[in-house]
Structure 1
């Protein structure tokens, strides 16, 4: 078992956001967190990552508490949220290296070309569209090796071509034994994913 969530609850302003949530994530699994706007989808992801305190329940990674081996858990996890981590005062090139560290030049160039960022490498990210900024952040899907992907609305601001690239990346991630937890209002053209609905 890669990730196990048991009877998880989160409170905000003394109000429980959703009914207790439980699910198990194995290698090769994709779980879509669904629910109405404001139902707590982003909060659930942030709680799994340890960014929010839970009011009840347990979160286990590889059978152990995430708190006990938090650094290892984060090392094996790629999180891309609404705040993508892209720095407006840095160029595309600088952001890519900041987010992904040392990457072989050939592999780096291939990803840059695929995401159509090659003409923007020296441009400060403050001058990019939201879709282009999202592509900069999502380059990590190809440039970093992480077992668990936690993605909050990864398709927002992307055109159909970019959305297809992301879905293909997700399929490759699980095909090699990784796992994905994501939120999205978009329909997924991905077989055999599980859905957890927050209510």
Structure 2
């Protein structure tokens, strides 16, 4: 369970959102909504310890989330940037990620699900934007954590890949995972999701 308690985000002299509180339970999907510049990315980065929380508190199962928290190991973060080494082949990227978690046995499942066998021996920089996104998203299956936090995960995906990813998210939530994502495309939201709207006075809709 991730809990945000009275979180205020300030950029320079501007308050992006104020006193944001919500709970993302196990087995739930939470969609962070808001206009460009509303603080969606800042909030997600705070949830994984990349941006310190100056006002309020964010916890995972009661432990405050910071870059050095032990609970960070139970979170997979997919940012709006793919965070892949441009000059490595896809197979090398997957092996590197798997080795950091001791999860080499999970590479085949990620390759099969995202159909990466077609690009395994291609350097990342030579891939299309859609393939780059699928390589980045494969961390979800390789890291195999309980919490997934994603910033615009559907960006650059074709309609078939969007449907595939939506099904993966739904399945993980049904199995007890906690899913939090920012999504600017209304068509990609989930009917059963909790929606957190970032505004000067945030409101949470069930």
Work out whether the TM-score is over 0.5.
yes
- C-alpha distance in 2 between matches for 1:147 and 1:160: 26
What is the aligned counterpart of 1:82 among 60, 70, 80? 80
Aligned to 1:156: 155
Shift in Å, 1:189: 5.8
Q: Using a 3 Å threshold, how does the CA distance of structure 1 residues 189 and 16 change in structure 2: closer, same or farther?
A: closer
Q: How many residues align?
A: 195
- C-alpha distance in 1 between matches for 2:98 and 2:171: 19
Tell me the C-alpha RMSD between the 2 structures: 1.7
Aligned to 1:197: 197
Q: Secondary structure at the match of 1:20?
A: strand
After superposition, residues 76-115 of structure 1 pair within 5 angstroms as: 76-101=74-99, 102-104=103-105, 108-115=107-114
Deviations 1:131-162 (A, max 9, x none): 11111011122222201110000000000111
After superposition, residues 11-50 of structure 1 pair within 5 angstroms as: 11-50=10-49
Instruction: Return 5+ residue gaps in structure 2 as ranges.
Output: 200-206
Aligned to 2:175: 176
Using the TM superposition, name which of 187-196 and 117-126 deviates more: 187-196
Quick check: 1:11–1:54 contact (8 Å CA) kept in 2? no
Shift in Å, 1:124: 0.8
Shift in Å, 1:119: 2.3
- C-alpha distance in 1 between matches for 2:107 and 2:47: 30
Using the TM superposition, name which of 189-198 and 121-130 deviates more: 189-198
Quick check: 2:95–2:107 contact (8 Å CA) kept in 1? no
- C-alpha distance in 2 between matches for 1:95 and 1:103: 12
Quick check: 2:65–2:72 contact (8 Å CA) kept in 1? no
Question: If the length of structure 2 is used for normalisation, what is the TM-score?
Answer: 0.88
Shift in Å, 1:56: 1.0
